[in-house]
Structure formats: structure tokens, C-alpha cells
Amino acid sequence: MKKFLLFFLLLFVLVGCSDKVSLKGRVTFSDDGSPVKAGTVCFVNGVFQATGKLNSEGYYVVGTDKASDGLPLGIYKVYIAEAKQQKGTKKVPQLDIDGTRKEVDEPVYEELVDRKFCNAETSGLTFEVKGSSIFDFKVDRLKQ
């Protein structure tokens, strides 16, 4: 009987510790308020990471194990990964499987946000998840 009660107590503690809360928001540029249309917003605290992909209006919903399932309570550093958009293509040589050379179109991307926002240690962005939340923030454009 003791083992049975211990098992349920342990199960209760583990389930209680794994509660996740919803988090969503919007990312815009600081100069004109237009949306950041590409990238992934990343929330990191120690070894734990949750992400939310930006849509064309700059909105995201955070997920850990799957899209939009939320994240545990805590304080997180925030950064944006892969904030770039395709601006065209370029021809590049490629060897075909039979050894013939041909040219193929390869996408060319441009970065959208200042690189300091692309690293958890330099972004200056933190957020404390206390319950279901909205976290909107602004970033600077990449200076060309």
C-alpha cells in the first residue's frame, strides 16, 4: 500500500511540475511598427527552450513539445532566430547524378533584424511567465 501511495504522490508532483501556460505575442520594428514577418521567437531558461514561429503579421504562439502547447512558469531570455526573408535567387553550378554540370537557382536571403536580437545573451529581452500571457516587443532593423 505504501508503494502505491508513493507512486501516486510522485505522479502528482511530476504532473504538477509539467504544467504549461499559453504565451503569444507580436514582434514589430521599432522604427515604424511594421511586423517582423519571418523568424522564430525563442524563449530560453537554462537548458529549456520553447519557440514560436512568426507569421506574416508578426504574431507568434509559443510551443515546447509541439506548436502552441505553451511553456512552464519561469524567467526566460528571449531572442529571434532565422529572421530573414528570400529576396531573390542566384544561379549556382551543380553536378547532376550522372556527372553533368548544370546551373540551378539557389535562394538568396536578407536578414531582417539587428543581430543583437538574434542571441539570447545580447538581445536584452527577458520575460517572466506567470500565467497565460501576451508578450509583444519591438526590435531594430538590420543596418545595411
pLDDT above 80 (res 80): yes
Residue 65: give its domain's CATH number.
2.60.40.10
Asked if residue 12 belongs to a domain, the reply is: no
pLDDT above 80 (res 117): yes
The pTM is what? 0.76
d(CA 101, CA 61): 44
Asked if residue 128 belongs to a domain, the reply is: yes
d(CA 32, CA 90): 31
Phi, psi (rounded to 5 degrees) for 79: -150, 170
- Of 13-17, 35-39, 45-49, 84-88, minimum mean pLDDT range: 13-17
The mean pLDDT of 99-126, rounded to a whole number, is 92
Q: Which residue has the higher pLDDT, 87 or 55?
A: 55
User: Which residues are bridge partners to 138 per DSSP?
Assistant: 28
User: Which residues are bridge partners to 133 per DSSP?
Assistant: 23
Q: 105: closest CA among 86, 132, 123, 118? A: 86
Asked if residue 13 belongs to a domain, the reply is: no
138 band by pLDDT with thresholds 50, 70 and 90:
very high
Q: 81: closest CA among 57, 113, 108? A: 113
Q: Are 140 and 114 in contact (CB under 8 A)?
A: yes
Asked if residue 10 belongs to a domain, the reply is: no
The mean pLDDT of 127-142, rounded to a whole number, is 93
Residue tagged 508578426 (cell numbers): 58
Asked if residue 35 belongs to a domain, the reply is: yes
Q: Are 144 and 87 in contact (CB under 8 A)?
A: no
The total domain count for the chain is: 1
Report the percent of the chain where pLDDT is more than 90.
55
- Predicted confidence at residue 11, as pLDDT, reads 36
- Predicted confidence at residue 7, as pLDDT, reads 40
66 band by pLDDT with thresholds 50, 70 and 90:
confident
Asked if residue 6 belongs to a domain, the reply is: no
Q: Report the chain's mean pLDDT, rounded to a whole number.
A: 85
pLDDT above 90 (res 132): no
Asked if residue 23 belongs to a domain, the reply is: yes
d(CA 88, CA 90): 7
Residue tagged 505575442 (cell numbers): 25
Reported as a single tens digit per residue, the pLDDT across 35-47 is: 999 999 999 998 7
Asked if residue 5 belongs to a domain, the reply is: no
Instruction: Look up the domain containing 130 and give its range.
Output: 19-139
